[in-house]
Amino acid sequence: MKEIKRIALLTSGGDAPGMNSAVRAVVFSAMKAGIEVVGVYRGYEGLIDWETKVLTLDDVRNINNQGGTILFTSRSERFLNKKYREIAAQNLRENNIDAVVAVGGDGTLRGAVEFRKEGVNYILIPGTIDRDVACTEYTLGFDTAANTAMEAIDRIRDSSVSHGRCSVVEVMGRKRGYIALWAGMGTSADAIVLPEKWDGSYDNITDAIKRRHADGRNSYLVVVAEGVTDAQALADTIREKTGIESRVSVLGYIQRGGQPSAKDRMYASLMGAYSIEILLQGRQNRIVAIKNDRLIDYDIEEAININNNQLDSFQYELSLMLQE
Ligand code: F6P
């Protein structure tokens, strides 16, 4: 078993609240075990250009409360190309790096699977607000993002109620509806439009609003996950079919920023420490995951083949009942 003396640490893909706590826990745990941590800036881009700094405890001591990532991040087009992955692997060899620890989402995992072919030992911590890494029940940043979306929607609702309007609010999530489901249920939305459940028709939404309008209600809230449908087209249809003035708000990057919640700081710290534990046990190419609220890990190749694009069915059914 090769002793781990030096690791590279990076964050990749969309930044997520909690990434800094993961970085902090990796550095603390590694240094305690006598492992040097080389921080790589801008994710895979920094691996290719070897933009790095040896991290000290002072670099990471007080970063738990910071949003974003102190290591910066990127969506690297170049890393999709084998030529650049080879350059990155060569950089790692030349700098005596025994393993890479990365914090990132689905795209980062796909990159990891390819990178492993260059002989790199790769440990991934799932960090993305979308909660779209199928092998884990939790990804860092989701809790903070869902809370940020919920608080923003609460404010939008105040205005919507005052004016007697329908607010259509678009939230992030890429192909997953968890932010929409949690923020929508938390704000008593009248309809939540989810990628996993979308049937392509606005009829259910407009019919429900008409029914409630007939019962005397005068303001409505529809939460829609990005990419499912055009939020403006939905608002226009609601106005045409119900006569109710409808306005769109796209929450956008506000959902990715801000101070991480206690849950994100705690889970990030646990996952960061666990990633070093995996390396100390001599295991290779793993992704850290949460199952039944416990830390586990999967082989990254196995993880990529896990298909779980369903929402929690109890949460979903409950959200429907609560829309009545
Ligand atoms: O990080 C996840 C995410 O915020 C998705 O919800 C969204 O679709 C995407 O990233 C936006 O990516 P970018 O920062 O590249 O615009």
**Average pLDDT, integer, range 31-58:** 98
pLDDT in tens, 113-172: 999 999 999 999 999 999 999 999 999 999 999 999 999 999 999 999 999 999 999 999
pLDDT of residue 13: 97
Tell how far the Cα of 17 is from the centroid of ligand 1, in angstroms.
13
Residue 54 banded pLDDT, cuts 50, 70, 90: very high
CA of 252 to the centre of ligand 1 (A): 9
pLDDT at 2 over 80: no
Q: Which of 75, 142, 174 to mutate to test the pocket of ligand 1 (most atoms within 8 A of CB)?
A: 174
CA distance 268 to 18: 6
pLDDT band at 204 (very low <50, low <70, confident <90, very high): very high
pLDDT at 307: 85
User: Residue 60: pLDDT band by 50, 70, 90 thresholds?
Assistant: very high
Task: Tell me the C-alpha distance between 282 and 264, whole Å.
Answer: 27
The 10s digit of each residue's pLDDT in 205-253 is: 999 999 999 999 989 999 999 989 999 999 999 999 999 999 999 999 9
Residue minimizing CA distance to atom 14 of ligand 1? 14
Alpha carbons 194 and 178: distance in angstroms, whole number:
8
Give strand pairing partners of 221. Answer: 167
Question: Taking Cα atoms as reference points, which of 112, 176, 117, 115 lies closest to residue 141?
Answer: 176
* pLDDT tens sequence across 8-34: 999 999 999 999 999 999 999 999 999
Average pLDDT over every residue of 82-107: 97
Q: What is the Cα–Cα distance from 282 to 302, expressed in whole angstroms?
A: 18
For residue 177, what pLDDT band results from cuts at 50, 70 and 90?
A: very high
Determine the residue of 11, 73, 109, 129 to mutate for testing ligand 1's pocket, defined as the one with the most ligand atoms within 8 A of the Cβ atom. 129
Average pLDDT, the chain: 96
DSSP string, 65-111: T--S-TT-----SGGGSHHHHHHHHHHHHHTT--EEEEEE-HHHHHH
**Tens digit of each residue's pLDDT (9 = 90 or more) over 269-311:** 999 999 999 999 999 999 999 999 999 999 999 999 998 878 9
What's the pLDDT score for residue 203?
96
Active site amino acids: 130
Residue 324 has pLDDT above 80, yes or no: no
Q: Distance between CA atoms of 127 and 264, rounded to whole angstroms?
A: 10
**Per-residue model confidence (pLDDT) at position 210:** 94
